Structure 1
Amino acid sequence: MPIAIPERSAGTIVRQAIRVLVAIGVSEILSQLLRLQDPAWALITAAVVTQTTIGETVSNGQSQILGALIGGAASLIAISLHQLGLPGEAALWSALIPLAALAAWRPQTRLGLVTVLIAMLFPSDNSPFFVPIQRVICVLAGVIVSMVVSFAVLHEQTRRDAFRLAAAMIRGIGSILDGAAHHNIGWHDIQSLDDTCATCLRRIAANVGEARRERWTSLEKRDPMLAALPQALQQLQTDAMVFARAALASPVHDAQDAQTLVRGLVSALEQIARGCDEQAQGRQPADDYTREALAAIPHDDITAAPEWRFILRILRSDMTAFISFLTDTGDKNRNSTSGSPASA
Structure 2
Amino acid sequence: MAGLSFLSLKDSFLLAGGTWRQVVRMLVSLIGSGVVAHLVHLQEPVWALITSVVVITQSRMTQTLSTGQDQVVGTLIGASAGISAIAMEQWLYWPTDVVFWVMLMPVAVLAAARPKMRVAVITLMVVLLFPGNGAPFARPFDRIASIMIGVVVSFVVSFFVLRNGARREVLRNSAVLLRRLSDLLQLALHQHPDNDAVSAIDDACRALLQDLNDGVKEAEVEHPGSLARHDPLVLRLPGLLRRLRADAIFIARAAVEGEAASTGHPLRSEREVLQHVLGLIADRCDQAASRSRRHPLPDDGVEDVLAQLPQPGTHWTPVMHFALGLLHTDLTVVIRNVWADGRTDEGASSLGEAHATVPTST
Q: TM-score, normalised by structure 2?
A: 0.86
Q: Separation in 2 of the partners of 1:336 and 1:152?
A: 33
Confirm whether residue 322 of structure 1 aligns to residue 350 of structure 2: no
8 Å Cα contact 1:27-1:46 kept in structure 2: yes
Residue identity in the other structure for 1:312: L
8 Å Cα contact 1:278-1:284 kept in structure 2: no
Deviation track 1:50-93 (CA, whole Å, cap 9, x = no partner) reads 12211111111111111111111111111111123111111111
Inter-CA distance 121–152: structure 2 relative to 1 (3 Å threshold): same
Offset of 1:211 from its aligned partner? 0.7
| Aligned twin of 2:51 | 45
Offset of 1:287 from its aligned partner? 5.6
User: SS at the partner of 1:175?
Assistant: helix
Aligned length: 334
Inter-CA distance 101–287: structure 2 relative to 1 (3 Å threshold): closer
Offset of 1:302 from its aligned partner? 6.5
Inter-CA distance 146–337: structure 2 relative to 1 (3 Å threshold): closer
Residue identity in the other structure for 1:78: A
Offset of 1:105 from its aligned partner? 2.2
Equivalent positions of 1:1-344 (< 5 A) are 9-50=15-56, 51-83=58-90, 84-183=92-191, 185-248=193-256, 249-251=258-260, 253-282=262-291, 284=296, 289-301=301-313, 303=315, 305-328=317-340, 330-335=343-348
Q: Which moved more, 1:269-278 or 1:247-256?
A: 247-256
Q: Between the two proteins, what is the percent identity of the paired residues? A: 34
Q: Which moved more, 1:184-193 or 1:237-246?
A: 184-193
| Aligned twin of 1:341 | none
Q: Which moved more, 1:254-263 or 1:272-281?
A: 254-263
User: SS at the partner of 2:346?
Assistant: helix
8 Å Cα contact 2:212-2:238 kept in structure 1: yes
Residue identity in the other structure for 1:164: R
| Unpaired segments ≥5 residues, structure 2 | 1-7, 352-362
Inter-CA distance 189–125: structure 2 relative to 1 (3 Å threshold): same
User: SS at the partner of 1:30?
Assistant: helix
User: SS at the partner of 1:182?
Assistant: coil
8 Å Cα contact 1:284-1:327 kept in structure 2: no
Deviation track 1:300-337 (CA, whole Å, cap 9, x = no partner) reads 23636433332232122111111111112623221487
8 Å Cα contact 1:67-1:110 kept in structure 2: yes
Q: Separation in 2 of the partners of 1:73 and 1:182?
A: 66
Deviation track 1:230-263 (CA, whole Å, cap 9, x = no partner) reads 0000010011111112223211534332221221
Q: Which moved more, 1:9-18 or 1:176-185?
A: 176-185
Offset of 1:286 from its aligned partner? 6.0
8 Å Cα contact 2:337-2:343 kept in structure 1: yes
| Unpaired segments ≥5 residues, structure 1 | 339-344
Q: TM-score, normalised by structure 1?
A: 0.90
8 Å Cα contact 2:83-2:140 kept in structure 1: yes
Offset of 1:296 from its aligned partner? 2.5
Q: Which moved more, 1:121-130 or 1:19-28?
A: 121-130
| Aligned twin of 2:3 | none
Q: Which moved more, 1:124-133 or 1:187-196?
A: 124-133
Q: CA RMSD in A?
A: 2.2
Q: Separation in 1 of the partners of 2:65 and 2:315?
A: 55
Residue identity in the other structure for 2:28: V
Residue identity in the other structure for 1:203: D
